[in-house]
Amino acid sequence: MLVYHGSDTIVDAPKILVAKRPLDFGDGFYVTTNEEQARKWAIKVAYRNAGGSKYINKYEFDEVAAQKETKVICFSYADVKWLDFICANRQGLETGKYDIVIGPVADDTVYRVVVEYENGDIDKDLALKKLKTERLCDQILFHTGKALKYLRYVEAEVME
């Protein structure tokens, strides 16, 4: 499967990164199957790092082998388990020992719903109802070095 990583650099040798802030699925290397989502990530990263360059890094992900040989958790949609997993990661709590995590992205719009839920402004049922109205892109987190072995760099495209 072809996957994409948006960045301000060419990433031909992905590494497990420790984030400066809590992320949806925890530390690691994030990709998506949605090229447009990767473009948005590249723009955000370039802006955050005050850089001018933006790249769409492309990889081949051997999902079949990874499913057989690593510990994978997959969230097909934004359900209760996904919401609890996201909230736990954003609070820095241990969420399990997975090599790969697959599921929807909590983008800016979704993040507002998650924050409302975390702050107790809305209950879980209302949060899930709001999330169902959003069109969520996917993300795949490679959480361990073992997981990265199933990702093969293809090329990088410079964004204009």
pLDDT band at 3 (very low <50, low <70, confident <90, very high): very high
Complete DSSP assignment for 29-73: EEEBS-HHHHHHHHHHHHHHTT-S--EEEEEEE-HHHHHHHS-EE
Question: Is pLDDT of 5 > 70?
Answer: yes
C-alpha–C-alpha distance, residues 144 and 76, integer Å: 21
Give the number of domains in the chain: 1
Helix axes 124-132, 80-90, angle to 10 degrees: 110
Residue 44 CA to residue 53 CA, distance in Å, equals 11
Looking at residue 133, its pLDDT comes to 64
pLDDT digits (tens, 9 = 90+) for 73-82: 999 888 889 8
- Domain residues for 90? 2-158
Measured between alpha carbons, how far is 92 from 71 in angstroms, rounded to an integer?
20
Which of 29-38, 39-48, 148-157 shows the lowest mean pLDDT across its residues? Answer: 39-48
pLDDT grade, residue 106 (50/70/90)?
A: low
